[in-house]
Amino acid sequence: MPQQVLFRESLGDVLRAERMRQGMTLRQLSTEARVSLGYISEIERGQKEASSELLGALCEALDMPLSDVLREVSDQIALEEAARELHVVSVEGLSSSDSGPEVVASAA
Amino acid sequence: MPQQVLFRESLGDVLRAERMRQGMTLRQLSTEARVSLGYISEIERGQKEASSELLGALCEALDMPLSDVLREVSDQIALEEAARELHVVSVEGLSSSDSGPEVVASAA
């Protein structure tokens, strides 16, 4: 079975992308949000869960509504879910074919 | 300033609403997701943060894609953000009026 899609990983991607879009450094965001730089960095890399309060502080520092962040995360995860679904269908549909593994690899 | 919208509170609302929509008890969900009943109950009441792995297990037990859960949470938070925005506008617009507090209370 394909690996589970993790909320914190997509959240980290979205938060990092938004920070970089604004040309903000980790240090600037850290100062603005009053959250340690190392902690923000771990959240952006999907290694730590962000508490709801911390997530709120980061959204405020990025001047981005929490609902927008979550919608982007939802969209990103929907794409990953579709890709995993495709992967499963490929594995099932091609399980008796010699070329299965290569096709699966490119679809996943 | 109005109180911050918290992710875990909306998430709890959405998860509980979906469980009840399916007519599932806390005990059934607990068994299905292999998560303690008390922990799920705290998550549904917005009192505990759910780790990404736990959130994934709950979504799977509810047979609901994580992206759908997050989209509902995003929609719910967007409404709360709009209501809080309205509250701020009301406070600013009516700050010199005697009837301010009552109007603010009904808008919030």
Q: What is the pLDDT of residues A7-29, one digit of tens each?
A: 999 999 999 999 999 999 999 99
* Mean pLDDT, residues A85-96 taken together: 74
Is pLDDT above 50 for A5? yes
Residues from chain A contacting residue B6 (CB–CB below 8 Å): 52-53, 56
Is B53's CB within 8 Å of A5's CB? no
Residue A46 and residue B90 in contact, taking contact as beta carbons nearer than 8 Å: no
Positive or negative torsion for Cα A7, A9, A15, A18: negative
Rounded CA gap, B94 and B76, in Å?
A: 27
* Residue in A with minimal Cα distance to B57: A4
Q: Measure in Å the smallest separation between the Cα of B20 and chain A Cα atoms.
A: 22
3-state class of A104 per DSSP?
A: helix
| Confidence at A37, pLDDT banded by 50, 70, 90 | very high
Residues from chain B contacting residue A81 (CB–CB below 8 Å): 65-67
Is pLDDT above 50 for A92? yes
Residues from chain B contacting residue A73 (CB–CB below 8 Å): 70
Is pLDDT above 60 for A103? no
A7 vs B4, B55, B65: nearest CB: B55
Neighbours of A20 (CB within 10 A): 11
Residue stretches of chain B with pLDDT short of 70: 1-3, 94-108
| Confidence at A85, pLDDT banded by 50, 70, 90 | confident
Is pLDDT above 50 for A100? no
Is pLDDT above 60 for A107? no
Q: What is the pLDDT of residues B6-15, one digit of tens each?
A: 999 999 999 9
